[in-house]
C-alpha cells in the first residue's frame, strides 16, 4: 500500500523525515558571556539570605540594593540562584516560627508583687 504522496509522485518533505527527533540536546552550548561567576553567585545568595531580607521575596530583595545604586543581577537570576540552593519556598516566617522566635528573644515578664 502506498501513501497519497507517493501516488502523486511526491517525496516526503525534509522536515517530515526528521520529525520527532530533537538534535538540540546533542549540540554543545557555549556559556553565556554575562554569566555570573561563582563569587558573584555566592554574593547574591548571601544577600538573599541576609537577616534583613530573609523574609522578603526576590523581587523585594532585587529592588532594595537597586534603589541604593547597586545592581546585583536580574530578578529571574535571583530565582534561579535560590532554586539551585533549594531556597525557593515561602520565605516569611510561619506563625509558629514567629511565636517561637518571640518566646526566645522577648524579655521575661514578671508580675509585680501585690501590696
Q: How confident is the model at residue 58 (pLDDT cuts 50, 70, 90)?
A: confident
Give the pLDDT confidence score for residue 81 in this predicted structure: 93
Give Cα separations from 14 to 4, 10, 17, 18 (angstroms). Answer: 17, 12, 5, 7
Question: Is this model's pTM higher than 0.75 or not?
Answer: no
Distance between CA atoms of residues 31 and 50, nearest Å: 29
Tens digit of each residue's pLDDT (9 = 90 or more) over 61-86: 899 988 999 999 999 999 999 988 88
Amino acid at each position: 500500500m502506498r501513501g497519497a504522496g507517493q501516488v502523486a509522485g511526491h517525496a516526503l518533505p525534509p522536515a517530515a523525515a526528521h520529525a520527532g527527533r530533537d538534535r538540540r540536546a546533542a549540540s554543545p552550548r557555549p556559556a553565556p558571556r554575562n554569566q555570573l561567576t561563582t563569587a558573584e553567585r555566592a554574593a547574591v545568595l548571601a544577600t538573599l539570605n541576609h537577616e534583613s531580607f530573609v523574609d522578603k521575596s526576590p523581587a523585594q530583595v532585587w529592588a532594595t540594593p537597586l534603589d541604593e545604586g547597586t545592581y546585583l543581577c536580574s530578578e529571574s537570576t535571583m530565582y534561579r540562584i535560590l532554586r539551585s540552593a533549594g531556597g525557593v519556598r515561602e520565605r516569611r516566617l510561619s506563625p509558629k516560627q514567629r511565636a517561637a522566635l518571640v518566646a526566645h528573644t522577648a524579655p521575661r515578664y514578671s508580675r509585680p508583687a501585690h501590696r
